[in-house]
Amino acid sequence: MLEINPGLIFWTIITFIAVLAILKKVAWKPLLTALTSREEQIRTALQQAEHAQTEAMKLLEENKRHLAQADAHAQQAMREGREMGERLRVEIVEKANANARAMVEQAKDEIRRERDAALTQLRGEVADLAVIAAGKIIDANLDVNKHRQLVDNVINEIRPS
């Protein structure tokens, strides 16, 4: 059982070398390259995934910042709008008030002027009527101008101040 058979040793070595040569070509090379290339693929895929994640985080962060900025902008715009509206309102009201006051003043002036004119006219009419009445009453030959002066004086004296 323990005796050495050199022929069998020879066959073993020859067969082993042949198996090694064949397997190296048809099995180990393809298997090992498949293994290493897959490992490489997995490694790069993981790296890419990690990269993508950091990128996504960055984008998210940026988006958040943009959103916050937009919010602030909107708030400010609203505040400014409100302030401006308030200011405008006050301005408009004041202007309207001023206008109204001016119109009232104008109207008052007009009224006063009209009243003065009407009074003047009325006085003239009254004087004329008075003269006519007086002439008719006293005398038709009376000096019109002299009496008219007289009556004007009287009317001026009674004009309210």
Nearer to other proteins, 8 or 158 (CB): 8
Tell me how far, at minimum, the Cβ of 50 lies from other proteins, in Å: 21
Binding of other proteins by 91 (CB under 8 A): no
Q: 22 or 154, CB closer to other proteins?
A: 22
* Token pair listed for 145: 């101008």
CB of 32 to other proteins, least distance (A): 6
Distance of CA 159 to the CA centre of its chain: 64
The widest CA-to-CA distance across the chain, in whole angstroms, is 191
Q: Which stretch binds other proteins (CB under 8 A): 1-9, 71-79, 90-98, 131-139?
A: 1-9
Distance (Å, whole) CA 52 – CA 33: 28
Q: What angle do CA 81, 82, 83 make, to 5 degrees?
A: 90
Q: Which residue type sits at 143?
A: D
**Which residue, 16 or 82, has its beta carbon nearer to other proteins?**
16
d(CA 160, CA 5): 164
Nearest-approach distance from CB 25 to other proteins, in angstroms: 9
Nearest to other proteins of 14, 96 (CB atom): 14
Do 144 and 131 form a contact (C-beta atoms < 8 A)?
A: yes
By CB under 8 A, what part of segment 3-62 binds other proteins? 4-13, 15-20, 22-24, 26-32, 34-35, 38
Q: How many residues does the chain have?
A: 161
Which residues make up the interface to other proteins (CB under 8 A)?
Answer: 1-2, 4-13, 15-20, 22-24, 26-32, 34-35, 38
